[in-house]
Structure 1
Amino acid sequence: MKNNLSSLRDLASAFGKAPVDPDTAVPSTSATSDDSLVYSTDSGRINQQQEKTVTPSDGFAKVRRETKGRKGKGVVVISGLGLDNKALKELAKKLKKTCGSGGSVVDETIEVQGDKREVIQQVLEKAGFKVKLTGG
């Protein structure tokens, strides 16, 4: 090891890093750059590409009724489906149309307004899901 570190190349080799050639260096704004970069004066705010992962299903679609945080209004929450966002939205549309009520997709769950657990159970079983009613 050199005792005299006269350049960055010598410093990089002292720490076991391969020296970087400026001719073949990748610009810092590329997708292969450091993932912790948040802002660059070269290109502004850097939007990170985050991969959406779907939680795998345990084989049961859990259907429960909730009222907490909804001013006493009841909704049926369906979770544990193991579907991607597009498939969840299609299934939610089918469930809302069958129940004749509103609802939404929140994270990896479907919320349908009202207490229509039996109807939702039948629709999910026809779609090939094993359904487990949870809660009271």
Structure 2
Amino acid sequence: MAKEKKKVINDFGGIMYSTDPSFIYDDEAAATDEPIPNAQQDLRVTLDKKNRGGKAVTLITGFIGDDEKLMALAKMLKTKCGVGGAAKDGEILIQGDFRDKVISILQKEGYKVKKSGG
């Protein structure tokens, strides 16, 4: 159901092309199936106004994990803030300026959180 993220050149660790027909690229990101504990997650909370028609959103980046956990975290943050938002590509958008509230909620959940930008 979840769409795979598009691979860019930086995802391959510098390997751009191989003429060896038996070459198999080891995808290290897909090989790590064990979840990362909340205390080791390094999340950044910023206020973003770009390309949103002047509307402000709280942007949480740096989440590492599967889409189900990302969606669950986004849903919890949206309900505690009482607003809408979205979650995709490892980022969570919360409508409005809720930086301080989001930081306190994430710290209670055990995440390492930093306020970045402005």
Shared fold per TM-score greater than 0.5: yes
Q: Does 2:63 align with 1:81?
A: yes
Deviation at 1:66, TM superposition (A): 0.3
Aligned-partner Cα distance in 2 for 1:118–1:135: 13
| Separation in 1, partners of 2:114, 2:105 | 13
- Which residue in 2 is equivalent to 1:91? 73
State the one-letter code of the partner of 1:96. Answer: K
Percent of aligned pairs with the same residue? Answer: 39
Q: Indicate which of 86, 90, 112 corresponds to 1:104.
A: 86
Q: TM-score, normalised by structure 1?
A: 0.57
Within a 5 Å distance, the mapping from 1:53-132 to structure 2 comes to 53=30, 59-132=41-114
Q: 1:41 is matched with which residue?
A: none
Instruction: Please state how far the C-alpha of 1:103 moved relative to its aligned partner.
Output: 0.2
Greater RCO between the two (CA within 8 Å, min separation 6)?
2
**Secondary structure of 1:89's aligned partner:** helix
1:59 to partner: Cα distance: 4.0
- SS at the partner of 2:113? strand
Superposition CA RMSD, Å: 2.1
Return the letter of the residue paired with 1:114. Answer: G
Uncovered stretches (5+) of structure 1, i.e. residues with no partner: 1-51
Aligned mates of 2:115, 2:100 — CA distance in 1? 9
How far off is 1:83 after superposition?
2.0
Q: How many residues align?
A: 84
1:134 paired with 2:116, answer yes
**Is there any run of 5+ residues in structure 2 with no aligned partner, and where?**
1-28
- How far 1:106 moved relative to its partner? 2.1
